[in-house]
Amino acid sequence: MGALFLDPRLSLGSCRSQPHQRREPVEEIKGLLKVYQDGSVERFPVIPLVSCVASSDGVTSKDVVIDDSSDLWARIYSPNVPGKLPLMVYFHGGGFCVGSAAWSCYHEFLANLALRAKCVVVSVNYRLAPENRLPAPYEDGVRTVVWIGQQALGGCNEHRWWLSQCNVSDTFLAGDSAGANIAHNVSLLISDRIITKVRIKGIVLIQPFFGGEARTNSEMTNTAVNPVLTLSASDTYWRLSLPPGANRDHPWCNPQATMAVPRVMVCVSETDILKDRNLQYIEAASKTGRRVEAAVYAGVGHGFQILNKSQLASTRTHEMISNIRDFINQ
């Protein structure tokens, strides 16, 4: 997708501490991360990091710094198509604890989404837990939206390459898994703020990562079907990301029937442990009077659009991108 270069920011989301070979972790997501008694975190580079600074396959992508003090940055994708396009602010998944806007799977998916759905995508590299527990990712999301408004208002030449391509008054918040949770909560946080030029038209939630103390049927039955997100891993992610002492009924995990945007799209995977949570969210959102669109993708599980390379997953990913394109371009 473009030229590779050595960028120190790409260390975000990879191993951030020295290996601890002689100590047992106090928390672990097998193959992804270990947390030790002293609070240090070891992340494993299971997915390669890529960077793109050139136009490739019809999409121009570049990394931009949003806030130096917190290492907040984003990767922006601008498709080479005519006309003013919707803007999508996207948050990657990873249980709030792992992941990066530079992960190759997200780079590929979002470049394709930008081109096929005809939108400019701002992919946010937010702070990770447990070093930065919730609401840190939500704060990074709000900061990103404010930054977009500032760039649009100032007419900054540095960002003209993508700002001239999109209409920031036609902005959508989106994400998958934990990123979808972030999109939902950021929409609530900015609902009463005036951000010059930026108007949030809706949210696109792909397999949103929600939970609760009471178990659902899909949480109990789909773990063996789709090992990408197991119930055990889900519980660990929540322990590491929620404020100390909070349980899974905290509203950041188990949301109330509150909507701050006029339109909502929810993408659900049939064999995902989150299926029932997602369907409950759709039902609650519908009762608020908002316009809610739901799509259930048969035969696939959590994160299929970025992690599954099968023919079925490819077909379902094509369907998902078509659904998102129709939703944001209405």
Q: Which of 288, 289, 280 is nearest to 216 (CA)?
A: 280
- Which contiguous run of DSSP H or E holds residue 221? helix 217-221
Which of the 8 DSSP states describes residue 215? P
Alpha-carbon span 43 to 98, nearest angstrom: 7
Edge-first strand order for the sheet with 85-91 is: 55-56, 59-67, 72-79, 120-125, 85-91, 166-176, 200-206, 263-269, 291-297
- Cα separation values, 247 from 37, 243, 254, Å: 21, 9, 10
> Would you state the structure tokens that stand for residue 234, as one six-digit string?
């889900």
Contact 49, 100 (CB under 8 A): yes
Query: Would you report the helix, strand and coil content of the chain in percent, each value rounded to 5?
Result: 35, 25, 45
For this structure, is 272 an active site residue?
yes
Which among 63, 170, 176, 272 is annotated as catalytic?
272
For this structure, is 177 an active site residue?
yes
Alpha-carbon span 26 to 181, nearest angstrom: 26
> Would you state the structure tokens that stand for residue 122, as one six-digit string?
């701002």
Which among 177, 218, 234, 241 is annotated as catalytic?
177
Which among 92, 107, 184, 302 is annotated as catalytic?
302
For this structure, is 302 an active site residue?
yes
Q: What are the residue numbers of the active site?
A: 177, 272, 302
